Amino acid sequence: MNELQQQQNSPVPTDKGAEMWRYAQALSKANIIPKTFQGHAANCFVAMDMANRLGVGVMEIMQNTYVVHGTPGFSARYTIAMCNNSGVFKGPICWTESGKGDDLSVTAYAYVAATGERVEYTVDMAMAKAEKWTTNPKYRTMPSLMLKYRSGSTLVKLYNPGCLLGMQTAEELEDMRHASAAPAVIEYAPQIEEAEEEKAPAVAASGGGEPELSDELERAADELFSTPPN
């Protein structure tokens, strides 16, 4: 995507930093953007910069950015979608599976548009266990999907790294958190906000206390990983 196309695809001013900062200040006052950006012009400025670099809309970046322990990352689903739309590969990233249970193996593959070469990356449960990713409960409840996200996002990193702008995926950040047994601190995830809003009236009616964070994380994860990327 050339510079002209990027500027046409993004409504954000790209010529002057001062104009971008004024735009970020105005954007931070909106109440329909994710909470991590509301009232934080600097966060909005960063999102605008990423949008300009990728040639996409600012809201698209905001809705697909997750902050885990202070580190931002794109969802694997969004990363794979961006790569599929980039034209680097001829057709979308696809997967093959073999084995079951502890022997499950998933290979992400695609064909390089310029050369026709088939490129692939394989992730299996043995690797997941060795790297301690399986401490994330989603590797037990939906291992196939988690391995697809891992193999697909790694393929993107290897052959189309510009899609990530040097960032990690949110799933990788979560796996790292589980592997290090760190306490859950997810500063922003749209699914968690929706889950909290839905549960709050029920808690108030029952006279119960604050909902457990682990429950909200589980519900958010169920929604986040409910459908595989197209």
For residue 74, the cross-strand partners are 65, 169
pLDDT means per 10 residues in the chain (230 residues)? 48 68 93 91 91 89 83 86 93 96 96 96 94 88 94 93 78 70 48 46 44 47 48
pLDDT at residue 185, as a whole number? 45
Residue ranges per structural domain of the chain: 3-63
HSE-CB for 35 with a 13 A CA cutoff? 12
pLDDT at residue 9, as a whole number? 55
For residue 122, the cross-strand partners are 107
pLDDT at residue 10, as a whole number? 52
pLDDT at residue 161, as a whole number? 87
| Burial status of residue 87 (CB atoms within 10 A of its CB: 0-12, 13-18, 19 or more) | exposed
Contact 160, 54 (CB under 8 A): no
pLDDT at residue 150, as a whole number? 92
How far apart, in whole angstroms, are the C-alpha atoms of residue 119 and residue 159? 8
- Please state the pTM of the whole predicted model: 0.64
How far apart, in whole angstroms, are the C-alpha atoms of residue 26 and residue 204? 35
